[in-house]
Amino acid sequence: MRILLFTFFFISTSYISSAQILNAESLRKVTDTSGWSGSTSVHFALKRSANDFFTIANDVHLQYKMKKNLVLFKNHISFQKIEGDNFTNFGISHLRYNYKYSRRTAMEVFVQGQYNKVSKIDFRGLVGVGPRFKLSTSEKYKFYLGMLVMYEQEELSDGSNIERNVRGSSYLSFSLYPTDRVTLVSTTYYQPILNEISDYRISSQSSLLIDVFKNLALKTTYTFTFNATPALDIPNSQYRLTSGLTYSFD
């Protein structure tokens, strides 16, 4: 089993990566047991960027939990159709480690790589670290605040120079469980360059999951992003609406 998982990791990381800002909260699987867990999903999307287009995508993520330690891994790849042309243009790999100091405080470290041809991102690499705080105690609703610092290297296909910056990455996230079959998760990120705060990104993602059968849920997600300084001819704001099935396992 371990050999299979490590083989999967090395194969998956060859797809260097995806969305403009990854919602890491969507990777966290609530479980009381230690060991491996995760999920896989397939979804369809209608999205507006420089053009309107249709997407079919697959997500796989793994989680390993042991006492105060938590490791998360995500790989995403999508296929898109724009004006009759089919091509793969979007992928992401993300690895994150959490160490829990107390019931309400943890430290996070992550690395991420991605590309997005529609947004003219040839490559964006990130390395970040910072604290994460739990703001609530109820099991029916959970609120979290993260305040990270990350190093970013970005290569665009619009002819601009390679950018190397240090950004903040603050986020506010909540998870609601109104019934045993319904889950609502929402996260908003704010990521400014620390020495030039007029250059920033904002991302907000909300997901509704409705259990259909055991370990199988219908998932609908709306994502909105704003980039103050996007690549040439790319709009400042973009959105994505996806719906599909998610299978999870413990």
Output the domain CATH number for residue 123.
2.40.128.130
Do the beta carbons of residue 230 and residue 224 sit within 8 Å?
Answer: no
pLDDT for the residue numbered 54 = 74
Q: What is the mean pLDDT of residues 64-71?
A: 91
Q: What is the mean pLDDT of residues 189-209?
A: 94
pLDDT (mean) for 46-72: 80
pLDDT of residue 33: 58
Residue 123 CB neighbour total at 10 angstroms: 16
Query: What pLDDT is recorded for position 13?
Result: 32
| DSSP annotation of 24 | G
pLDDT of residue 49: 63
Ranked by mean pLDDT, the top range of 45-49, 157-161, 219-223 is 219-223
Asked if the model's pLDDT at residue 1 lies above 60, the reply is no
Question: pLDDT by residue (tens digit) across 113-143?
Answer: 998 877 888 899 999 999 999 999 888 899 9
Total length of the chain: 250
Domain count for the chain, please give it: 1
What sign does the dihedral 125-108-57-5 (CA atoms) show?
A: positive
Question: Residue 33 has which token pair?
Answer: 């047991």
pLDDT, greater one: 10 or 165: 165
pLDDT of residue 215: 83
- What pLDDT does 17 receive? 34
Shortest CA distance to 207 belongs to which of 189, 237, 187? 187
214 lies in which domain range?
Answer: 2-249
- Condensed to tens digits (0 to 9), the pLDDT of residues 14-57 reads 333 334 566 555 555 555 557 888 888 777 766 666 666 777 77
DSSP lists the bridge partners of residue 99 as 69, 107
Dihedral sign of CA atoms 224, 190, 153, 197 in order = positive
Distances, alpha carbon 102 to alpha carbons 30, 31, 63, 186, 221, in Å: 17, 18, 20, 24, 31
Lowest-confidence range among 4-18, 91-105, 178-192?
4-18
Q: Is the pLDDT of residue 182 over 90?
A: yes
